[in-house]
Amino acid sequence: MENSSTIKILNGGMYKEKIMITNEPLTVEEVAKVLRVSRQTIYVLCREGKLPHFKVGTKLRFKKADIDVLTNTTQGEVNHD
């Protein structure tokens, strides 16, 4: 798979491989953890047009590349102005 990477995880003294798909959309919860803010803040930022997102049905999703750009640009800080 060209859009995936493999990492090894130590689990009970044994390594197991986990494939991470890099183009999978992120959830609200995942983005909140990355940005170190609450889920509610993520919803507010989306509503204000400050956080790029798209919907899958009624659920908000985020491109990992967009979040990576945001975290690299702000160096961990979100501008709430």
Q: Does a structural domain hold residue 67? A: yes
Higher pLDDT, 75 or 47: 47
Q: Does a structural domain hold residue 17? A: no
For residue 77, the enclosing domain spans 23-81
* pLDDT band at 16; cut points 50, 70, 90: low
DSSP string, the chain: -TTEEEEEEEETTEEEEEEEETTSPBPHHHHHHHHTS-HHHHHHHHHTT-S--EEETTEEEB-HHHHHHHHHHHTT-----
Instruction: Report the CATH number at residue 61.
Output: 1.10.1660.10
Split into its structural domains, the chain has a count of 1
pLDDT of residue 70: 85
* pLDDT band at 18; cut points 50, 70, 90: very low
Its pTM stands at 0.63
